Amino acid sequence: MRIALATLLMLPTLASSAAEPFRQIITSATRGVRTEQWTLTHRDLGTPTPWSIRKLTLHGGRQEGVEVVVVDNGVLTFTVVPTRGMGILEATAGDVRLGWESPVREVVHPQYINLEQRGGLGWLEGFNEWMVRCGLEWAGHPGKDEFVNNVGAKSEMQLTLHGRIANIPASEVEVVVDAAPPHRLRIRGRVDERMFYGPKLELWTEVSTDPGSTVFRIEDSLTNHGAHEQEFQMIYHCNFGAPLLDAGSRVAGAFRRVTPFNAHAAKDVERFTEYGGPTTGFVEQVYCIEPAADSTGRSLVMIQNARADRGVAMTFSVEALPYFTLWKNLAATQEGYVTGLEPGTSYPYNRRVERLGGRVPRLAAGATRKLGIDVSVLLSREDLLRAANEIKRIQGGREVQIDKQPFKVE
């Protein structure tokens, strides 16, 4: 079968020592590989610090057949879901959890998701990850936008909420462990958003961490395999609930400008960094933020708990991810009490609006764009202080412009 074998896995070179890294393919469409269960630990490779990587397959209900990879670096654990576009279900370190309690209790297999449902809100039936990518052809709210149809003409289609990438299973998944210290642990996967008369976008992602560390990195590489320039969007929808989110929790970051998403958000724009507790009937508030960067082009945002002794910091390149969305959904616990810290190429308006605002990047034929986030779990007041000082350094004394009015969106 030439088609099945055509895209013979071309692995980008991995930065590593002269010695070859350990490499295990656990899913491969090109090689016909599927792995029900698999475990690797530091003992298997004879490295000193304890760690483990487990591949599991979930069963029952709407999660039947879902593949997950659980990485435990000895201090930090995170769970990647290849079946759901290499999203990250949750991460934990000490008593800090990156994740939230969604009303969606199962890790829903894409076969049960119909993105078109409910006026384009079907995505919400599977939404429970800590980090879910919105994208790639579009990333924002549902509604009408233009596309090029099967006779090459501009046509209109109904976009669906947050795009398709989170409900496409990874075609290739591999585990890589560096041969040289610190023996970095890497989960790599390829997710294709490809169709005839449509996008030919390929996402290669790597989630990696060093044994014993409290930080991990999401490194994405997005390639346009089409012959034409291609619009794309990516929003890293990173969601926090208890215990980090609580009445008195705060978000902080190096910011240039904050604009409320709509009139409802505008009412509380002065308090956009503050969180209240779960509130029955709370309607989501969204803030569109231009992050500030230091001379290396990096920005930092963090969330900290009410006691100000636990938190998470995320750094990213503002060239790659120039727009940061803060989503506050402080609803009752059963409805999903959650906040989203969302670095992106765009805000979550419909792509039509984003295009008008100049926030829909394009990728030339054959071109590749690097995107990603570094995530640090903050386990003490000292950790929080360091992150706060880092924000201060990046901010460099600039004032944050706080807009009272939302963007004018027709």
Q: Which of residues 112-171 bind a second copy (CB under 8 A)?
A: 112, 114-119, 121, 124-125, 127-128, 147, 149-152, 155-158, 161, 168-171
Interacting positions 348-367 with a second copy (CB under 8 A): 365
Backbone phi and psi for residue 226, each to the nearest 5 degrees, phi listed first? -80, 175
Considering only 44-52, 100-108, 312-320, 385-393, which stretch makes contact with a second copy by CB under 8 A? Answer: 100-108
Interacting positions 379-398 with a second copy (CB under 8 A): none
| Shortest distance, position 254 Cβ to a second copy, whole Å | 28
| Shortest distance, position 21 Cβ to a second copy, whole Å | 21
| Shortest distance, position 359 Cβ to a second copy, whole Å | 20
**266 part of the interface to a second copy, by CB under 8 A:** no
**333 part of the interface to a second copy, by CB under 8 A:** yes
| Shortest distance, position 401 Cβ to a second copy, whole Å | 25
When the beta carbons of 60 and 397 are compared against a second copy, the nearer one is 60
| Shortest distance, position 353 Cβ to a second copy, whole Å | 14
Site for a second copy (CB under 8 A): which residue of 14, 22, 33, 369?
33
SS3 annotation, 194-245: ECCCCCEEEEEEEEEECCCCCEEEEEEEEEECCCCCEECEEEEEEEECCCCC
Site for a second copy (CB under 8 A): which residue of 227, 263, 358, 399?
227
Q: What token pair was written down for 78?
A: 């995170």
Asked if 165 and 373 count as a contact pair (C-beta separation under 8 A), the reply is no
Site for a second copy (CB under 8 A): which residue of 16, 49, 50, 70?
70
Interacting positions 280-299 with a second copy (CB under 8 A): 280-281, 283-284
| Shortest distance, position 379 Cβ to a second copy, whole Å | 18
Site for a second copy (CB under 8 A): which residue of 21, 40, 42, 68?
68
Site for a second copy (CB under 8 A): which residue of 12, 48, 94, 103?
103
| Shortest distance, position 241 Cβ to a second copy, whole Å | 11
- Between CA 377 and CA 203 the distance in angstroms is 26
Site for a second copy (CB under 8 A): which residue of 6, 10, 15, 263?
6
Interacting positions 299-328 with a second copy (CB under 8 A): none
**172 part of the interface to a second copy, by CB under 8 A:** yes
**205 part of the interface to a second copy, by CB under 8 A:** no
When the beta carbons of 355 and 386 are compared against a second copy, the nearer one is 355
| Shortest distance, position 136 Cβ to a second copy, whole Å | 14
Closest CA to 321 of 369, 258, 371, 356: 371
Half-sphere exposure of 174 (CA within 13 A, CB side): 20
| Shortest distance, position 317 Cβ to a second copy, whole Å | 28
Query: Residues 336, 349, 126, 169: is their CA dihedral positive or negative?
Result: negative
Interacting positions 10-29 with a second copy (CB under 8 A): 27-29
Q: What token pair was written down for 330?
A: 């402080």
| Shortest distance, position 402 Cβ to a second copy, whole Å | 22
Site for a second copy (CB under 8 A): which residue of 21, 40, 42, 62?
62
| Shortest distance, position 108 Cβ to a second copy, whole Å | 9
**263 part of the interface to a second copy, by CB under 8 A:** no
When the beta carbons of 104 and 308 are compared against a second copy, the nearer one is 104
* CA 147 vs CA 114, 235, 348: distances in Å: 20, 20, 18
Hunting for tokens 């991460």 — which residue is that?
91
Q: What token pair was written down for 388?
A: 């706060």
Interacting positions 185-204 with a second copy (CB under 8 A): 192, 194-198, 200
* CA 104 vs CA 88, 110, 176, 296: distances in Å: 15, 13, 31, 39
**Distance from the first to the final alpha carbon of the chain:** 50
